[in-house]
Amino acid sequence: MSWSRRVRYALIESAATEVVSIVRALFKDGEPSDPDLQRRYRLYKRLEAALALPAGPQRLEALHKAYRELRANQARCWTKKRAGGPHAGVVG
């Protein structure tokens, strides 16, 4: 693995670890009932599961998959906002 890939992997893993530690406190009471918060809760659980994998390509792929899903959700919310949908003004 090249040096730049190792650095990128370390940054991705560090960011995911930070997100999980912060969000764990927010969802300490379990899964929320609000649909918007449920989406964030599922992302948190995917990140947590990815970080539980042993370091290596599987872990990195799981973190990338969670990131891609996050970006796809943000794009859907942006489209709804522009269209004035039920979540207009909500990005996340």
The answer to whether the pTM exceeds 0.75 is no
Q: What is the pLDDT of residue 84?
A: 57
Tell me which residue of 71, 63, 74, 20 sits closest to 44, measured CA to CA.
20
Q: Two tokens at 32?
A: 């929320």
Q: How far apart are the first and last CA of the chain?
A: 33
3-state secondary structure 20-64: HHHHHHHCCCCCCCCHHHHHHHHHHHHHHHHHHCCCCHHHHHHHH
Domain boundaries, the chain: 3-83
Mean pLDDT by 10 residues, the chain (92 residues): 82 88 89 86 90 90 87 70 54 49
